[in-house]
Amino acid sequence: MRVGVVGLGIMGGPMAMHLHRAGLLAAVYNRTRAKAEPFEKLGVYVAQSPGDLAKRVDVVIIMVSDAPDVEQVLFGPGGIVEGARPGLIVVDMSTNSPDWARRFAERLAQYGVEFLDAPVTGGQKGAVEGTLTVMVGGKEELFKRLLPVFQAFGKNIVYVGPVGYGQAMKLVNQVVAALNTVAMVEGLRLAKALGLDMDKVVQVLTGGAARSGSIELYLPKLLKGDLTPGFKAAHLKKDLSYVMELANRASLSLPATALALELYKKMVEKGLGELGIHALGEIY
């Protein structure tokens, strides 16, 4: 199975490297060619466009920022459909929404191209260590065929239902991750104000009922003053915007999520969107 990766950023780069180690990576493409150079040195073909990449592979993985970026990669000038042939499988592993996933699947079907939405969670650490959780929506037989691909960089791989369900599951994950991060940041602010020993705070938060993915991934970075992103605040703001769009359409009240969205909007407005989601305390 020949796999190509479009998007070699914080997540896509490490994932592509795992695919290379598994003997599956045939081609890569990135708008900034410099990010593709490490793969070129390893003998991986660096495509001139997403369409050029599509000609050379059986499976295309897309890992870019947002739905408009995915749309451009698929259908824009030099897009995947220009090099696609019937039977090609496109896997969108970025985060957007169920609506976009279904739209992409319908348009690609006109070219005979299959589609899975398979966003991931675990942040940069999970991508580097190959321990990501992968949530896959689409045809179950396609999921089974692509399991070796997902296993190259994922540890917890879950088939969640038809097209769009992968994105739906990821948005659920993002709500919980966002609220855990808000809780962590405010808890630390309180701990500092009360003069508590931070080492003992860590001992309690990592060993008791308050422990969470945010505590495990981001608390050590926060205490070192490291605000670099494992996942960017601007991306979480984007994801929570999709959540509230769906919630409002369904007349569903999610007050805590609405608050988290406002907090991350403030981060972006203050020019802090490129920092990690754990840098939320910078706006307080």
Q: What pLDDT score does 49 carry?
A: 98
Output phi, psi for 29, to 5 deg: -145, 140
Could you tell me if 71 and 99 are in contact, meaning their C-beta atoms sit under 8 angstroms apart? no
Three-class SS of residue 186?
A: helix
pLDDT digits (tens, 9 = 90+) for 216-225: 999 999 999 9
Q: 219, 223, 197: which is closest to 210 by C-alpha?
A: 219
User: Could you count the other beta carbons within 10 Å of the beta carbon of residue 110?
Assistant: 8
**Pair type for strands 3-6 and 59-62:** parallel
pTM for the whole structure:
0.94
Do residues 169 and 160 lie in contact, with contact meaning Cβ atoms separated by under 8 Å? yes
Annotated active-site residue 170? The verdict is yes
Listed as ranges, residues in the chain with pLDDT below 50 are none
Helices (H), the chain: 12-21, 37-41, 50-54, 67-75, 80-83, 98-109, 123-129, 140-145, 147-151, 165-193, 198-207, 213-223, 233-249, 255-269
Task: Quick: pLDDT tens for 126-182.
Answer: 999 999 999 999 999 999 999 999 999 999 999 999 999 999 999 999 999 999 999
Which of 139, 144, 155, 170 is catalytic? The answer is: 170
Answer for the pair 179, 254: CB distance below 8 angstroms, yes or no. no
Answer for the pair 28, 95: CB distance below 8 angstroms, yes or no.
no
Say if residues 95 and 121 touch (Cβ distance below 8 Å): no
Please report the pLDDT score of residue 206 as a whole number: 95
d(CA 254, CA 252): 6
Q: Where do the domains of the chain lie, and which CATH numbers do they carry?
A: 3-162 (3.40.50.720), 169-283 (1.10.1040.10)
Report the alpha-carbon distance of residue 263 to residue 277 in Å, rounded. 11
- Yes or no: say if 198 and 152 are a contact pair by the CB < 8 Å rule: no
